[in-house]
Amino acid sequence: MDWVWDGWLAAGKLHLIGGAPSTGKTTIAISLAAIISSGGLWPDGSRALVGDVAIWSGEDDNVDTLNPRLRAAGADTSRVFVVEGVHEGCERRPFDPAHHMEALREALLRRPHVRLIVIDPIVSAITGDSHKNAEVRRGLQPLVDLALELGCAVLGVTHFSKGTSGSNPLERIIGSIAFSALPRVVMVTVKQEPEGDQPERRFLLRAKSNISQDGGGFAYDLEQGELQGYPGVMASSVRWGHPVRGTARELLAEAERCDDERHEGRNAAEWLRELLSAGPVQVKDVRRLGADEGIAWRTLQRAMRSVGVDSRRGGFSMPATWSLRDPGIVAPLAPLAPLAPLAPTSIDGANGDFGVNDRAEREVFNL
């Protein structure tokens, strides 16, 4: 195997990078292109073999987006070629990967040192229905053939389908399953939202590889700043971090579980604050009303601590109640840290006790 990047990008093969919006997929592709063009260091610390790169993007403009990002990533721009259009007779038309692959092939055959071709988004290479296996395979085959003929890696950029959280990462790629079946390596991006002192975290993960090991990946950050030497020109770039272990499915599920719990906790805290704003409410009614809203009791118990609830235990004739410490003061909600799963407990008194597990160390998402 002729590796462009050992274990991640192979010469003569089709690759895919997918993920949710705003996770930096295109910026990562630009970073990889810059590393090849300059002979820089890969995220694992190994040195890249210098080569040329061709990039087509149907979503980002070269002048205000691609070129600044390439420069911010340290690319040798003399080795990077952005595909913008084709000449047909006396007319110049925008490049369409579904119809102009032969023109791209002819242009790249004149450049013998191409090591990477980026197609963003790869769904644009499909002329028919992108949800039909046969049509997707037919549309991607010219890219597979081009990679093999030129001896370079082809990297397609795509998105996750909506409402697929928790599924196998390969099944989350938008469109037909052929989008993840035909590439030899599929990478995915994941972003965990910031919470309290925990900063935002992003990871590039290897969801599939037919030619190397699966799993593992690298942490990364996206940085936005003014391009050196070009006042007023802003560009984003990737700062690579430490390697991570585990399967893409496990790491994606863990990140999304933490984000879901935080989102659920915020909603519960807002609901509880509104419920108690009019005065004390019996604990049994809080639990019943919360259940009617689909809020778990354990979530309410966590929310009472972030909201600032004063709990009072009832006597033989007085029921236990929850109330805001000072209903007249609306303080910002405290961050809700993710908790380890708790063993079932029947303790649900006025103070919202969790039982002995309340003293256990909280599990924080830490790859």
pLDDT on residue 255: 66
> Which of 30, 29, 32 has the alpha carbon at shortest distance from 5?
32
DSSP 3-state percent helix, strand, coil across the chain (nearest 5): 35, 25, 40
Mean pLDDT, each 10-residue run in order, the chain (367 residues):
95 95 93 97 97 94 93 96 89 91 92 95 92 93 95 95 74 90 94 71 92 91 92 94 87 66 68 83 84 79 77 71 66 42 36 36 32
Top CATH class, 264-359: mainly alpha
Are the C-beta atoms of residues 251 and 190 closer than 8 Å to each other? yes
CA distances to 34, 176, 181, 186, 329 from 89, in Å: 33, 36, 38, 38, 72
For residue 219, what are the β-bridge partners? Answer: 203
CA distances to 106, 135, 292, 348, 354 from 344, in Å: 66, 50, 21, 11, 9
Are the C-beta atoms of residues 14 and 154 closer than 8 Å to each other? yes
User: Which single residue is written with the structure tokens 């995915």?
Assistant: 188
| Rounded Cα distance, 80 and 305, in Å | 54
> Which of 333, 338, 335 has the alpha carbon at shortest distance from 361?
338
Domain residues of the chain, as ranges? 3-246, 264-359
Other CB atoms within 10 Å distance of the CB of residue 66: 23
Top CATH class, 3-246: alpha beta
CA 24 distance to own-chain centroid = 7
Are the C-beta atoms of residues 318 and 283 closer than 8 Å to each other? no
CA distances to 142, 250, 255, 336 from 262, in Å: 44, 18, 11, 6
R_g of the chain computed on alpha carbons: 26
For residue 189, what are the β-bridge partners? Answer: 19, 204
- Is this structure's pTM higher than 0.85? no
